[in-house]
Amino acid sequence: MENFRTEVNVLPGAKVQFELHYQEVKWRKLGSYEHRIYLQPGRLAKHLEVDVWVIEPQGIRFLHVPDTFEGHFDGVPVISKGQQKAHVSFKPTVAQQRICPNCRETVVDGELVVLYDVKREEKAGELEVFNGYFVHFFAPDNLDPIPKNILFVIDVSGSMWGVKMKQTVEAMKTILDDLRAEDHFSVIDFNQNVRTWRNDLISATKTQVSDAKRYIEKIQPSGGTNINEALLRAIFILNEANNLGLLDPNSVSLIILVSDGDPTVGELKLSKIQKNVKENIQDNISLFSLGIGFDVDYDFLKRLSNENRGIAQRIYGNQDTSSQLKKFYNQVSTPLLRNVQFNYPHTSVTDVTQNNFHNYFGGSEIVVAGKFDPAKLDQLESIITATSANTQLVLETLAQMDDLQDFLSKDKHADPDFTRKLWAYLTINQLLAERSLAPTAAAKRRITRSILQMSLDHHIVTPLTSLVIENEAGDERMLADAPPQDPSCCSGALYYGSKVAPDSIPSWANPSPTPVISMLAQGAQVLESTPPPHVMRVENDPHFIIYLPKSQKNICFNIDSEPGKILNLVSDPESGIVINGQLVGAKKPNNGKLSTYFGKLGFYFQSEDVKIEISTEAITLSGGSSTFALSWSDTAQVMNQRVQISVKKAKVVTITLDKEMSFSVLLHRVWKKHPINVDFLGIYVPPTNKFSPNAHGLIGQFMQEPKIHIFNERPGKDPEKPEASMEVKGQKLIVTRGLQKDYRTDLVFGTDVTCWFVHNSGKGFIDGHYKDYFVPQLYSFLKRP
């Protein structure tokens, strides 16, 4: 969930040993504890060894190392297991690491996984006490599942296009097959509109499940994101069924929301969506949220779920969405107990806290921790009351004070202070949940002070603290990149993109002193659409990628010019459209070369008298004598009769003309203290026949596709980059095949695009010389030589 990065200087020829010491809490999920170790040495390692020690006072019921390397290391992990301790050793030789007997590549690129569970008695869990702190693990087995009423609420907006939607559909088909005959369900999918497979809850018969799967398979993602209306529709269906007495009184009701983005249509204020859900949802309904990708507002989903008896989880776009979604569903969808209450009938027990499970779900566990006065107790008693499918349970446990201390003192790998650390970890997480729901700024500040003090006292990294790295002597320190902070939590905090009347100026628009033109400004109803699979694009320093539809080839070239120069990308005097880009330079040369990027783009629509300037700092729209300024920190939309500008916060600007021609501009932010790199823009232009035949420019000239012939493919100087000959425009060029990046669906890592690279700034592929495309101003048409 958190990513930290730091850099160190290493002297030439020095031998360096890196040691990373960290601690994390292991939660029991799907009936076991799981420890994953990521192994990516990148090369054959002369000495590669992993040791995992497991120490469990309750006793180890089973331990298993699943095959995660497709049988390549069969028999390599060595497991030694006793009653309360186990050791896993993974030490492949260099020969075993090879991907094939004579290969130099390593097969070690994945995860070593250790699964285990502890022995459990039929009582109120396990109480472990030590040094004034106790931890209570509660995960009973062999209970009948409670019937459930479940509504799946699935985001099918344009941002879900591609792999995310495909994997979500596959996961949903598997999930629907797992429903039991006594369960009831329905499916809601939403973009700017909300649809329901059925308007009420349906029994999970084989016929109905098959029909629901066919419905899901036909989903085509497009449009915006109306989270508010989708959740209210789901709540209404469950509330109505409950009010009409259609639900089993022993059943539980769940809403599972799957989304990858912020609301862009309907209600946009996050605090208002929280309020609407809270006011309408009944106390017997739990809301679970699964956020997909890097762009999702995970803090909002956490607040939404924590406030309504559920939990949230985030999965990144580079993970297997399908398997992660199924794991999340399995974790939360098998309720075994309701109304679980813990009671410790001793006045000396204080500061009790627990992980946030309001119901008990099969395969997981509830963990409770607290403090007590050892001088007043020689044993600790717990009483748990809960409701199973049809039974009221009362479970009692006694824990002796000395047993754990004696056990932990005998093993060097055991942590005798884990009860205190786990109590602190649970308490901090409970305070973070309370902070996100704080009703006032003063309450938020008070909780924040408590979190900061506890995190410093117990050395726990939180979203409110940073990770400091120091050398062994303690006289050098540096700050690692800290996790992003929750920007807001409370009612009354500033949210961008609030809904406004059509004839008013929204809060994110700052008009200049000049008169205002008659433009319609709407609150963040951002244009969302499925990204076309093939576009012409310019990224990085700057790399042009030209897609030729008839040849189905990508042709690439770079332009190596000077900072400040303005390049014409599209110039079409007949249509009255100009797109130009101004170059900015890196902070300093790297390996003797100063890289340049697009730092500013200009769009001019002559017939509308509209000029749009997009820089890494702001978006400015000029029309006649008036100007609107938009910020990258907003989610917003501005439009007149033909031109529409949609801004997605800190990510992308989409410009649409007549709903037929669109251009996307991506913002790339870099670390501000980076010694070389600077922020820059990428532009994406789909091939279209809407330009006139006389359109030109570095991109525009290819709207009329030239004929190309690529032949005589052969090995290049780099074995991974073959060469070929290409005939184009009466010339024969040497081209090299390589990879470039498309960042539309993954702004962080990008998607690889194969292309043939033309050297010497595109010479022979573009008309003339690249300097012929210099223009004097950001909105100048290109003067053809």
Q: Specify whether the CB–CB gap between 185 and 234 falls below 8 A.
A: no
What are 387-433's pLDDT values in tens digits?
666 566 666 666 655 566 677 777 788 887 888 888 888 888 888 87
Cα–Cα distance between 293 and 648 in angstroms, integer?
15
Quick one: pLDDT band at residue 98, thresholds 50, 70, 90?
Answer: very high
Quick one: pLDDT band at residue 317, thresholds 50, 70, 90?
Answer: low
Cα–Cα distance between 148 and 285 in angstroms, integer?
10
Q: DSSP secondary structure string, 555-596?
A: EEEE----TT-EEEEEEETTTTEEEEEEEEE-SS-BTTB--E
Structure tokens at 381: 């008693």
Q: DSSP secondary structure string, 494-527?
A: --SS----TTS--TT----SSPPP--EEESS---
The least confident of 7-21, 229-243, 630-644 is 630-644
Domain with CATH 3.40.50.410 in the chain: 148-333
Quick one: pLDDT band at residue 52, thresholds 50, 70, 90?
Answer: very high
Structure tokens at 29: 């999920």
Residue 559, pLDDT > 80, answer yes
Q: What 3-state DSSP class applies to 315?
A: strand
Task: Name the region of 392 (left: φ>0; alpha: ψ -120 to 50; beta: rest).
Answer: beta
Say which residue, 720 or 116, is predicted with more confidence. 116
Tell me which amino acid residue 532 is.
P
Cα–Cα distance between 623 and 514 in angstroms, integer?
11
Residue 241's alpha-carbon distances to 247, 266, 309, 520, 687, in angstroms, are 6, 26, 19, 42, 50
Q: Which CATH architecture has domain 148-333?
A: 3-Layer(aba) Sandwich (3.40)
Structure tokens at 402: 């000395």
Structure tokens at 716: 């290049």
Structure tokens at 442: 């003063």
Cα–Cα distance between 10 and 167 in angstroms, integer?
43
Torsions phi, psi for 527 (to 5 deg): -65, 120
The least confident of 590-599, 726-735, 759-768 is 590-599
> What's the start-to-end Cα distance of the chain, in Å?
55
Quick one: pLDDT band at residue 313, thresholds 50, 70, 90?
Answer: confident
Q: Specify whether the CB–CB gap between 641 and 657 falls below 8 A.
A: no
Residue 118, pLDDT > 80, answer yes
Q: What is the dihedral of CA 260, 332, 150, 164, to 10 degrees?
A: 30
Q: Characterize the bridge pairing of strands 723-728 and 618-623.
A: unpaired
| Torsion over CA: 453, 456, 457, 459 (sign) | positive
In three state form, how does the secondary structure of 15-59 look?
CCCCCCCCCCCCCCECCEEEEEEEECCCCCCCCCCEEEEEECCCC
Q: Report the percent of the chain where pLDDT is more than 70.
A: 80
Residue 716, pLDDT > 80, answer yes
Quick one: pLDDT band at residue 355, thresholds 50, 70, 90?
Answer: low
Instruction: Give the helix/strand (H/E) hosting 338.
Output: strand 335-343
Structure tokens at 33: 């504890």
Instruction: Give the helix/strand (H/E) hosting 547.
Output: strand 543-548
Q: DSSP secondary structure string, 592-654?
A: TB--EEEEEEEEEEGGGTEEEEEESSEEEEEETTEEEEEETT--EEEE-SSEEEEEETTTEEE
The least confident of 4-8, 355-359, 633-637 is 355-359
738, 734, 733: which is closest to 721 by C-alpha?
738
* Average of per-residue pLDDT values in the chain: 80
Residue 321, pLDDT > 90, answer no
Residue 335, pLDDT > 70, answer no
Which stretches of 344-378 are assigned E, i.e. beta strand?
Answer: 350-354, 360-361, 366-371
pTM (global) more than 0.85: no
Residue 170, pLDDT > 70, answer yes
Q: Report the percent of the chain where pLDDT is more than 90.
A: 26
Task: Name the region of 221 (left: φ>0; alpha: ψ -120 to 50; beta: rest).
Answer: beta
The least confident of 96-105, 227-236, 473-482, 776-785 is 473-482
744, 310, 768: which is closest to 533 by C-alpha?
744
Cα–Cα distance between 386 and 339 in angstroms, integer?
5
